[in-house]
A and B are shown apart, each in its own frame.
Chain A
Amino acid sequence: MKRRPILDVSDLKTVFRIGGRQVAAVQDLNLTVAPGETVALVGESGSGKSVTSLSIMGLLPRKVGKVVAGRILFRGKSGEERDLATMDSEALRSIRGNDVAMVFQEPMTSLNPVYTVGEQIAEPIRIHLGRSHKDAAESAVGLLAAVGIPDPGRRARQYPHELSGGMRQRVMIAMALACDPVLLIADEPTTALDVTIQAQILDLLRKLQEERGMGILFVTHNLGVVAEIAHRVAVMYAGRVVETGAVTDVFRHPRHPYTMGLMRSVPKLGEATMLKRQGIPLPTIAGSVPSLLALPDGCSFAPRCPYALDQCRAGVPALAETGGRHKSRCIRWEEI
């Protein structure tokens, strides 16, 4: 049985104004997240994955970035469905940190250095739930315990610089969970961390999701992390989703040459040494990500694609259903 999604983004288009020109950082984006589901948004730097998450949060840099088309339907705690794209800034603010919360990539710089971590976790509880200072501070200690920080009472009184990177990311997660959001947007939450800490944070997120049933939109460039945590995945390239589906389907039978290239580029354990011995370079995708200022006509990936035909350059391919909920934006998906 399919649950009603808490987040339903359709035909989203976000533009940035760069030197008098409008550049589409994200277009034709469709995305849903159901309660208790983790959807991964994968892509290289500049593919539009972070812009997507900032568009949902209404945190695009003002005067520069703007959602110009599409809907971002969101069902918050009240159960009422509202369009975040057209909401005024005050209404959005009351949802941010309350119904939707976000964890950022850089735990080292994302915490305010001059306030204790307890205070920073307590802040959204006071703002959104209207609780007293003392009450919110107690909840903050409880949240620190929930994200696996030992001696939470003492830690709550410490400043960010007194904590390690992994601890700080746990603090960020505690802060995001403070008001029990229905949707958590995690923008590369493990990228800045050591591999062992990464695994711990992913375990923590999974455990918290089981306990609280929130949906997670997980933005990453790391396919290993996607396999680890996500139920569904959307692969982005140059501002568009090029392939989407259940993680197992997409990973087992990629239907888009970009996804295939990405997966080939991830070396398996021992493979790198073997290739080196045989004198074969690690596989990469030839060429580089096109500038959004000068996107090629037709399929954006065509110039780098080994399967490209003249037809690919004629128009942007539509997302084609390839079976189940698996979709690919490639006209030759059946052949490859």
Chain B
Amino acid sequence: MLVALSMLVFVLLRLAPGDPIDAYINPNVAMSQAEMAALRARLGFDQPLPIQYLAWLRAAVTGDLGYSIQKNGVKVLPLVLERVGPTVLLMFLALVIAIVGGIAAGIISAVQRNSATDVGCSVAAFVGISSPPFLTAILGLYVFSVVLRWSPSGGMLTPGTPFSLSDLLSHLVLPACLLSIGHAALIMRYMRASLLEVLNQDYVRTARAKGVKELWVIIKHATRNALLPVVTLIGSSIGMAVGGAIFMESVFNWPGMGLLLVNAVDTRDYPVIMGATLIIGACVILVNILTDVAYALVDPRIRVA
């Protein structure tokens, strides 16, 4: 999977117009064709594409992802790894907000079906689903940071002050909330539909016939079953949240993988693009494995005897 992903990114990068060599050249200094050819040969860009890829792959499996073109001489691997933490932090909080908020709103909507609360939640969810992350990011930034001044407008920590958790959180909460909107809305819709279906099942009637309190009928007997499709959705949400995180990070100047990737693309920093996609890909695959494990925990029918 990761090999296929890296191959795809590698080929796509080279298909894009522009010469990787451009990034190495100082535009203010004249350079002859012969000098450029020599530079190409030294960096291996004169080799056929498959050979170039194999050379990259051979180094990559030993943990050597090359050097950043832009930041002279900085190794790609540590550059990428130091950005993993902030991104994971942002996405983790966003997903926790999305899962807790989405599931709670879905349950309330399903139980009070067709009530004002339900209609309100559903309308809000449609707005949330339809709002692209770049729009919510910029709009959120404007409303909460510029107009209301509730939150700093960017960065992870206030420069020049000692580290404190509250400082980190004040920077984190707004982008995390904005990132969670679309996912919370989607989870809410799924949870509502799934729970409505489960509430019609025979075993819910059985639970009522046993004299289980209505609240417990919903929480214990219905919700656990209704979660099954939602768990799958959450798994795929995480992959999609990466895309949203890239927007959030560029808008809020959050020092994560997304910001690194966007900057790298801007400056044609090929090794960094390759390294960052590889690490993001590895994370998404890991999350999908965890989702399958979670699925087995929720549904005993999936467990292998």
Segment among B88-96, B209-217, B261-269, B274-282 that sits at the interface with chain A: B209-217
User: CA A128 – CA B202 in complex, angstroms?
Assistant: 21
Note all chain A residues with C-beta closer than 8 A to B214. 93
User: CA A123 – CA B213 in complex, angstroms?
Assistant: 11
Q: How many B residues, CB 8 Å from partner?
A: 20
Note all chain B residues with C-beta closer than 8 A to A96. 208-211
Given contacts A114-B224, A114-B300, contact A109 B211 (CB under 8 A): no
**Cross-interface CB contact of A114 among B202, B213, B298, cutoff 8 Å:** B298
A166 in the interface (beta carbon within 8 A): no
Q: Is the CB of A109 within 8 A of B201?
A: yes
Interface members, chain A 78-113 (any B CB < 8 Å): 93-98, 101-102, 104, 106, 109-113
Q: Is the CB of B212 within 8 A of A114?
A: no
B203 in the interface (beta carbon within 8 A): yes
User: CA A38 – CA B9 in complex, angstroms?
Assistant: 74
User: Residue of A at shortest CB range from B225?
Assistant: A114
Could you list 13 A-B pairs, sorted by A, with CB under 8 Å? A93-B211, A93-B213, A96-B211, A101-B209, A110-B203, A112-B203, A112-B206, A113-B203, A113-B301, A123-B207, A127-B210, A159-B301, A161-B300
Note all chain B residues with C-beta closer than 8 A to A128. 211
Q: Which 9 A-B pairs have the closest CB atoms?
A: A97-B211, A97-B210, A96-B211, A109-B202, A112-B203, A110-B202, A124-B210, A102-B209, A159-B300
Q: Is the CB of A106 within 8 A of B224?
A: no
Interface size range on A against B: 20 to 34
A to B contact number (C-beta, < 8 Å): 69
Q: How far apart are A94's CB and chain B's nearest CB, in angstroms?
A: 6
Determine chain B's interface SS by DSSP, over half rule: helix
Note all chain B residues with C-beta closer than 8 A to A175. 206, 210
* Residue interface mask B270-305, A partner, CB < 8 A = 1: 000000000000000000000000000011110000
Q: Is the CB of A113 within 8 A of B209?
A: no
User: Residue of B at shortest CB range from A160?
Assistant: B203
Interface members, chain A 169-192 (any B CB < 8 Å): 172, 175
**Cross-interface CB contact of A161 among B201, B210, B225, B301, cutoff 8 Å:** B301
Q: How far apart are A199's CB and chain B's nearest CB, in angstroms?
A: 24
B221 in the interface (beta carbon within 8 A): yes
User: CA A101 – CA B211 in complex, angstroms?
Assistant: 9
User: CA A59 – CA B205 in complex, angstroms?
Assistant: 8
Q: How far apart are B171's CB and chain A's nearest CB, in angstroms?
A: 40
User: Residue of A at shortest CB range from B222?
Assistant: A112
A302 in the interface (beta carbon within 8 A): no
Q: Is the CB of B211 within 8 A of A98?
A: yes
User: CA A106 – CA B204 in complex, angstroms?
Assistant: 13
User: CA A59 – CA B299 in complex, angstroms?
Assistant: 28
Q: How far apart are A182's CB and chain B's nearest CB, in angstroms?
A: 14
List residues of chain A with CB under 8 Å of any chain B CB: 57, 59, 93-98, 101-102, 104, 106, 109-114, 123-124, 127-128, 159, 161, 172, 175
Q: Is the CB of A123 within 8 A of B202?
A: no
Q: How far apart are B166's CB and chain A's nearest CB, in angstroms?
A: 40
Note all chain A residues with C-beta closer than 8 A to B225. 112-114
Given contacts A159-B301, A161-B301, contact A111 B203 (CB under 8 A): yes
User: Residue of A at shortest CB range from B205?
Assistant: A59
Q: Is the CB of A112 within 8 A of B207?
A: yes
Q: How far apart are A129's CB and chain B's nearest CB, in angstroms?
A: 11
Q: How far apart are A266's CB and chain B's nearest CB, in angstroms?
A: 28
User: CA A113 – CA B206 in complex, angstroms?
Assistant: 12
User: CA A167 – CA B214 in complex, angstroms?
Assistant: 28
Q: Is the CB of A127 within 8 A of B212?
A: yes
User: CA A169 – CA B34 in complex, angstroms?
Assistant: 86
User: CA A114 – CA B202 in complex, angstroms?
Assistant: 14
User: CA A175 – CA B208 in complex, angstroms?
Assistant: 13
Q: Is the CB of A104 within 8 A of B202?
A: yes
Q: Is the CB of B203 within 8 A of A57?
A: no
Note all chain B residues with C-beta closer than 8 A to A172. 206
Q: How far apart are A66's CB and chain B's nearest CB, in angstroms?
A: 16
Q: How far apart are B303's CB and chain A's nearest CB, in angstroms?
A: 9
Note all chain A residues with C-beta closer than 8 A to B221. 112
Note all chain B residues with C-beta closer than 8 A to A59. 205, 208-209
User: CA A110 – CA B212 in complex, angstroms?
Assistant: 15
Q: How far apart are A128's CB and chain B's nearest CB, in angstroms?
A: 6
User: CA A95 – CA B300 in complex, angstroms?
Assistant: 31
Note all chain A residues with C-beta closer than 8 A to B211. 93-98, 124, 127-128
Given contacts A114-B224, A114-B300, A161-B301, contact A123 B210 (CB under 8 A): yes
User: Residue of B at shortest CB range from A57?
Assistant: B209
Q: How far apart are A302's CB and chain B's nearest CB, in angstroms?
A: 35
New contact pairs (16) apart from A59-B205, A97-B209, CB-CB < 8 Å? A57-B209, A93-B211, A93-B213, A94-B211, A96-B209, A97-B210, A97-B211, A97-B212, A104-B209, A109-B202, A109-B203, A110-B203, A110-B206, A112-B203, A112-B207, A123-B212
User: Residue of B at shortest CB range from A111?
Assistant: B203
Q: How far apart are A172's CB and chain B's nearest CB, in angstroms?
A: 8
Interface members, chain B 211-246 (any A CB < 8 Å): 211-214, 221, 224-225
Q: How far apart are B32's CB and chain A's nearest CB, in angstroms?
A: 72
Note all chain A residues with C-beta closer than 8 A to B209. 57, 59, 96-97, 101-102, 104
Q: How far apart are B304's CB and chain A's nearest CB, in angstroms?
A: 13
User: CA A59 – CA B203 in complex, angstroms?
Assistant: 13
Note all chain A residues with C-beta closer than 8 A to B202. 104, 106, 109-110
